[in-house]
Amino acid sequence: MDKMSMSDPLEIKLEHFEGPLDLLLHLIKKLEVDIYDIPIAEVTTQYISSIKEMKNQQLSLAGEFLVMASTLMAIKSEWLIPRIEPEPLEDEEVYDPRQPLTDMLVEYQLYKDIAAQLEFKYEKRQLVYTKEPSDLSHYNEKIPLDSHSLDPVQLHQALLRAYRRYQLMHPRDSVIDAEEITLEDKMADIEFRLKAAEKQSLYFSECIDSFDHSHIVVSFLSLLELIKQQVIQAFQDHPREDILLKYTGGDSHHE
């Protein structure tokens, strides 16, 4: 598409513009010029022509349109009149009388874009249908708990078991210089713990001091050996649950 000539008249319906900045943006887009390098003389000419057209259509001419016309004329005069100025310093910006107008247009365009996005979201939201909230009050009934069935010690032990199971299933990604332990030493350690424990029973996770892979393997092999020697009994209600160990009263042959 050929670029439009600056001298060609623009067919503009002025009642469609919200203000002078809206009209200026329209002219800049129609003339296909850079908003950061506005040909101020040509844009001013087109703007003044649009103002005259507004009068010919006998439309009420808003004061802000006239103010912008005066502003454009002032910028045009300052831009076209040659001025003798000293050479600017290396880091000094060259003064451009169009810059304030450019800043206003860029900011106005930003607001227009945001407004368009908000309008799109609003129209999209209008397509969403909702329902009245359901009555869920019957789910608020509180189930009384028997205070005698809650043992703080048991709750604490259950929490520790859950934490130890979590540590077993989610080992940390770190290298630890674990102390080596023999099968005999671990068998003696488990047996000692069971003898000292309340009711001489413990969970397997409570017998593990390190979550190093080799330590866990040695601990499990020690458990199997103690079961084989009938020193302890092991109970598990469901797969992957912690194993309950009970001391039977015998002595292991690990010495």
For 171-212, write each residue's pLDDT tens digit. 666 555 556 788 898 899 989 988 888 788 888 888 887 767
11-15, 208-212, 219-223 — which is least confidently predicted?
11-15
Angle in degrees, CA 109, 74, 80, rounded to 5? 100
Which of 88-92, 153-157, 183-187: highest mean pLDDT?
183-187
* Mean pLDDT of all residues belonging to the chain: 76
Angle in degrees, CA 136, 137, 141, rounded to 5? 120
* Domain annotation for the chain: domains and CATH numbers: 14-83+93-126 (no CATH), 178-255 (1.10.10.580)
28-37, 125-134, 163-172, 190-199 — which is least confidently predicted?
163-172
Q: Indicate the residue type of 62.
A: A
pTM: 0.39
pLDDT per residue as tens digits for the range 49-79: 887 777 666 555 567 777 888 888 888 887 7
11-15, 23-27, 104-108, 147-151 — which is least confidently predicted?
11-15
What confidence tier does 25 reach under pLDDT thresholds 50, 70, 90? confident
* C-alpha distances in Å from residue 77, one per residue of 23, 88, 97, 204: 21, 22, 10, 92
pLDDT value, residue 161: 77
DSSP per-residue letters across 19-79: SHHHHHHHHHHHHT--TTS--HHHHHHHHHHHHHHHHHTT----HHHHHHHHHHHHHHHHH
